[in-house]
Amino acid sequence: MCNVVYEDNHLLIVEKPPNLLTQGDATGDECLVDKMKRYVKEKYGKPGAVYLGLVHRLDRPVGGLVALARTGKAAARLSQQLRAHEMRREYLAVVHGAQIEEEGTLTDRLARDAQTGGVACVPEGAPDAQTAVLHWRRLAADGQTGTALLHIRLETGRKHQIRVQLAHCGHPIVQDMRYGQGVAGEPIALWGAALTLTHPTRGERMTFVSRPRGRAFERYADEIDAFLAERPNADA
């Protein structure tokens, strides 16, 4: 079962493990939404179908925090926060290239890559492209492994956005098997580590945190501890 970080009558904050779909797709594989519907049904003995509104997603290989709404009203209000950029999603990533600048912003045009089924950065004016914007800050670097730990904040939420943009600028994420390279069996070094939102009924600003897992993050344990300590978890 996925780790439940926060739960009340309107809101469910869950830690999605790597390699679990957030929402069902054509593969028919089990997904986070189905698992959490089953959790709610069993915990509260609910008859019939259980409602859970998915507010945002994480790529299948990526672990971290996902917000689910337990009522239609909560789903509408949380989705509005997302559209208005009032929901703050923060990620930690380990990337190749210890010499990456201390901070920066990436603005690209992304479009579906028909050949690979993934996403690619495309020139301005390309058809069906969407603007993608992210900001990063380097928290630490390791010259021995040639990697760096980044704090990433999204302005837009495009498919595969972080992975594609960082690979395009020459700093692919460690263990990204689609847009970089890696060793099978080890998770991608990208994690939804902090999520800040306004509670859909109480109007309270709340921050939730999740510690990244995976070998690539282990050498940056102290920096990750400091990052998480700056973002105290919400009271359950």
What pLDDT, on a 0 to 100 scale, did the predictor assign at position 162? 97
What pLDDT, on a 0 to 100 scale, did the predictor assign at position 235? 40
**Which parts of the chain register pLDDT below 50?**
234-236
What pLDDT, on a 0 to 100 scale, did the predictor assign at position 36? 95
Which residue in 135, 1, 152, 10 sits closest to 67, CA to CA? Answer: 10
Residues 148-188: tens digit of each pLDDT:
999 999 988 898 999 999 999 999 999 999 999 888 888 99
Q: What total of structural domains would you count in the chain?
A: 1
What pLDDT, on a 0 to 100 scale, did the predictor assign at position 233? 58
R_g of the chain computed on alpha carbons: 18
- Residue 77: inside a domain: yes
**CATH number, domain containing residue 138:** 3.30.2350.10
What pLDDT, on a 0 to 100 scale, did the predictor assign at position 234? 47
CA atoms within 13 A on the CB side of 157: 18
- Residue 42: inside a domain: yes
Domain membership of residue 49 as a residue range = 3-229
Task: Please spell the DSSP secondary structure of 92-161, one letter per residue.
Answer: EEEEE-TT--SEEEEEEEEEE-TTTSSEEEE-TT-TT-EEEEEEEEEEEEETTTTEEEEEEEESS--TTH
Catalytic residues: 59
- Residue 235: inside a domain: no
